[in-house]
Amino acid sequence: MTISMRAPLQRALVVGGGVAGPTVAMFLRRLGVQVAVLEARSEAAGDAGAFLGLAPNGLQVLAELGLGAEVRARGAACAGLRFLNARGRCIGEIDHRDHAQRFGAQMVMIRRAELHRTLMAAATERGADCRFDARVVALAERPGEVVARLESGEALAADVLLGCDGVRSRVRALALPSSPAPAFTGLCDIGGFARCPGAPLEPGWTVMTFGRRAFFGAFAAPGGEVWWFHNNGARETMQVVDPEQRRASILALHAGDPPWIADVVRATPTLLGPWALHDIMTLPRWHAGRVCLLGDAAHATSPSAGQGASLALEDALVLARCLRDAADPPAAFARFEQERRVRVEAVVRQARKNGDGKAPAGPLAAWFRDRMLPLFLRLGAAAQARFYEHRVEWSPPAE
Ligand SMILES: Cc1cc2nc3c(=O)[nH]c(=O)nc-3n(C[C@H](O)[C@H](O)[C@H](O)COP(=O)(O)OP(=O)(O)OC[C@H]3O[C@@H](n4cnc5c(N)ncnc54)[C@H](O)[C@@H]3O)c2cc1C
């Protein structure tokens, strides 16, 4: 079917109110587009998503929207990462303290719920119609428009529909049904927030421990909270339903690791997750007709490169710019995919590689890792610098 859409873009539906959704809505509002953001969660969903790190490349998109200072104030700067072996010895470090100078911003750690609230509130202030409890269950294309049907039965129409609904995207399944399923990375994730004054953590630093049987990350937030995550490879973790059994299984996996890890896990009122981590190395097409995917829906990346949210922010700016500049939405979607694919696929590959390195190692492999990690970190820092220094621009380049 040939689609002709010469008229200027007037109405957009954005499915998903996570990271990409409210951000693309804000850029579209700049263009005067009437935007509805449809989010399945209820507004009071709380801390369902633990926390994440926003890298310099993502923070520059928030700065473009005038939200940089607010996000920094709601989160906390990350001074860097320290890596420990299972005996608690520091075997490597990545220092972020010169990143403001090198990359224009220093990584910010932020609770996911806080980031979602900030973005949805800012999009609402800028005139987007942000709705919670609005799960999209079906799509249809009609001449001149695309229609989304909500679980409530309500139908909404627009010129374009942007799928920002994450790794398990319903929009992807409906609009691009032959897309490959996301792949399991081999890692499961559980996290939480604890007060554990005895933990030997320096405020602002993230400590990553290669435990004997599982990996543990802990960020010492200002105010004395520890924000932590635990990764292990066992899918069975996902099947443990009782929270106390789950806690017991994490404690068992960290038996013999630095004892403060168990203290932090015990001091956590509510365990968050578990999440089976999936990624999408390459999706053959990101758009069909009036529908385009962005963020995790198009290129889900495992958390191990700390880039998924930042890529979603970059996508939002680039897609809105393409819609501003291209002759019609299909041309904009094609340009967007062409501009983004190589970069995001490189990040997804790197994140998978980083995640593979978290797998428990036997004594010989652990001995080798402890000695080689500083070299691997130096090599990894070069790749990381390429991710951090990437810039997406809203304004056309000066003539
Ligand atoms: C445990 C964990 C830790 C992570 N840590 C980091 C990190 O430190 N740094 C980093 O950069 N990235 C991290 N990531 C990855 C990051 O979370 C994602 O890359 C990012 O959230 C992608 O943004 P998005 O807007 O594309 O999707 P999401 O943030 O997943 O948002 C999708 C939204 O769509 C909504 N939705 C889903 N289906 C529907 C539907 N049918 N109708 C309406 N709404 C729907 C969902 O409720 C959700 O709010 C982590 C991921 C996980 C799982």
Q: Does the beta carbon of 337 sit less than 6 angstroms from any atom of ligand 1?
A: no
What's the pTM? 0.95
Nearest CA to ligand 1 atom 1: 189
Rounded average pLDDT over 322-346: 97
pLDDT of the residue at 397: 55
Rounded average pLDDT over 60-85: 97
Rounded average pLDDT over 37-62: 90
Rounded average pLDDT over 259-285: 96
Residue 341: is it exposed, middle or buried by C-beta count within 10 angstroms (0-12/13-18/19+)?
middle
pLDDT of the residue at 352: 93
Ligand 1 atom nearest to CA at 50: 1
Alpha-carbon dihedral sign for residues 315, 293, 323, 122: negative
Q: Does the beta carbon of 75 sit less than 6 angstroms from any atom of ligand 1?
A: no
Domain boundaries, the chain: 11-77+111-182+279-359
Residue 7 — very low, low, confident or very high, per pLDDT cuts 50/70/90? low
Tokens of 200: 């030997």
Q: In angstroms, what is the span from residue 15 Cα to ligand 1's centroid? A: 12
pLDDT of the residue at 399: 57
Q: Does the beta carbon of 18 sit less than 6 angstroms from any atom of ligand 1?
A: yes
Q: Does the beta carbon of 309 sit less than 6 angstroms from any atom of ligand 1?
A: yes
Q: In angstroms, what is the span from residue 313 Cα to ligand 1's centroid? A: 11
pLDDT digits (tens, 9 = 90+) for 353-368: 888 877 777 777 778 7
Q: Does the beta carbon of 19 sit less than 6 angstroms from any atom of ligand 1?
A: yes
pLDDT digits (tens, 9 = 90+) for 143-179: 999 999 999 999 999 999 999 999 999 999 999 999 9
Rounded average pLDDT over 314-329: 97
pLDDT of the residue at 369: 81
Ligand 1 atom nearest to CA at 58: 11
Tokens of 327: 């002759």
Q: In whole angstroms, give the CA distance from residue 67 to residue 142.
A: 37
For residue 54, pLDDT over 50 is answered with yes
Of residues 236 and 38, more confidently modeled = 38
Superfamily of domain 11-77+111-182+279-359 in the CATH hierarchy? FAD/NAD(P)-binding domain (3.50.50.60)
Rounded average pLDDT over 42-65: 90
Q: In angstroms, what is the span from residue 364 Cα to ligand 1's centroid? A: 37
For residue 2, pLDDT over 60 is answered with no
Q: In whole angstroms, give the CA distance from residue 136 to residue 49.
A: 20
Q: Given the DSSP bridges, would you call strands 108-111 and 90-95 parallel, antiparallel or unpaired?
A: unpaired
Q: Does the beta carbon of 315 sit less than 6 angstroms from any atom of ligand 1?
A: no
For residue 197, pLDDT over 80 is answered with yes
pLDDT of the residue at 262: 98
Distances from the Cα of 393 to the Cαs of 136, 296, 315, 320, 322, in angstroms? 31, 21, 11, 11, 11
Q: In whole angstroms, give the CA distance from residue 139 to residue 156.
A: 10
pLDDT of the residue at 4: 47
Rounded average pLDDT over 97-118: 96
Residue 398 — very low, low, confident or very high, per pLDDT cuts 50/70/90? low
Residue 47 — very low, low, confident or very high, per pLDDT cuts 50/70/90? low
pLDDT of the residue at 365: 79
Rounded average pLDDT over 274-297: 97
For residue 1, pLDDT over 50 is answered with no
Q: Given the DSSP bridges, would you call strands 136-142 and 287-288 parallel, antiparallel or unpaired?
A: unpaired
